[in-house]
Structure 1
């Protein structure tokens, strides 16, 4: 199993996110547990391209300090929604390593998290989504709480992912 930390970048990781404090706490805990239990932690950053303010070299592009990768941890960059799109190289990397289960956390629920979960499912991975480890902002169509609930309680379970409690996530990280 690997822990995939998606788009937790400085420019979007803030209190506009649904249940921001819970999100921060849970993601930090899972990163620490993964490291303690020799599970690989892989980070993904979204790049909107030069001149956007959200690209390589821009402060907002950098990974949120509280989730910072350790030396040697893999970081993949993408310019599409799914972290598992062939252009990122991540899918090939996971397949070559023989990974079967991917625990996914990050931002934004309704964009890159959803796309990555579906791509993971389509490629045969067991996808685990711990509670309050993904989030999004309000938008003109849906408030952030409704969006979180729609995906985590309706769209993903029994279709694309196993949406699990933090207790189960801890247990899985510890190999129990």
Structure 2
């Protein structure tokens, strides 16, 4: 049983940019399923938005910075916050919010696998949280070196055990 859900960087400029994330529609459906499950259980839901500097395509308030419109966000009760680094903890009050909500087990999902998902999983564990990583709940784009599918498989394998409990989204409970 997990205590909270963290969705990372599911923003218009990343989700619907020129380079499309791997299996983006399936991942979006998976995230919305996790959101519905967390909401039904009364678990807090946190949404991180990567925020670029002024003048960048994802500067605060810009159209590309917004969370993807098909993501099931309820701004009246969910927790939205901005970050400027791959870690959702650095320069934010996420750790304080999780501790105030007595969260011990955190489900982490969203984008991008090799940057913000990886970093946030590792930092969360260093801070004493237990992390659940749905292997089918995060995505990224192809790179010149590796296809997105290989990046996702590699991170699922690398993070499992030492950093996260790897599972499939269908098995995540709140």
Q: Give the Cα separation in 1 of the matches to 2:101 and 2:37.
A: 21
Matches within 5 A, 1:20-39: 20-39=24-43
Contact 2:32–2:72 (CA under 8 A) maintained in structure 1? no
Q: Give the Cα separation in 2 of the matches to 1:69 and 1:124.
A: 27
The corresponding residue for 2:87 is: 82
Matches within 5 A, 1:5-154: 5-14=7-16, 16-70=20-74, 71-85=76-90, 87-152=91-156, 154=157
Contact 2:133–2:165 (CA under 8 A) maintained in structure 1? yes
Kindly provide the CA deviation profile for residues 143-169 of structure 1, in whole angstroms up to 9, marking residues without a partner as x. 1010000001x2111111011022321
RMSD: 1.2
Structure 2: gaps of 5 or more residues: none
Structure 1 consecutive aligned stretches of length 4 or more whose deviation exceeds 6 Å: none
Contact 1:82–1:116 (CA under 8 A) maintained in structure 2? yes
Kindly provide the CA deviation profile for residues 113-152 of structure 1, in whole angstroms up to 9, marking residues without a partner as x. 1110000111111100113110000112211010000001
The corresponding residue for 1:160 is: 163
Q: Give the Cα separation in 2 of the matches to 1:111 and 1:61.
A: 17
Aligned length: 169
Kindly provide the CA deviation profile for residues 83-121 of structure 1, in whole angstroms up to 9, marking residues without a partner as x. 022x11101211232210100111000001111000011
Structure 1: gaps of 5 or more residues: none
Could you state the TM-score of these two structures normalised by the residue count of structure 2?
0.93
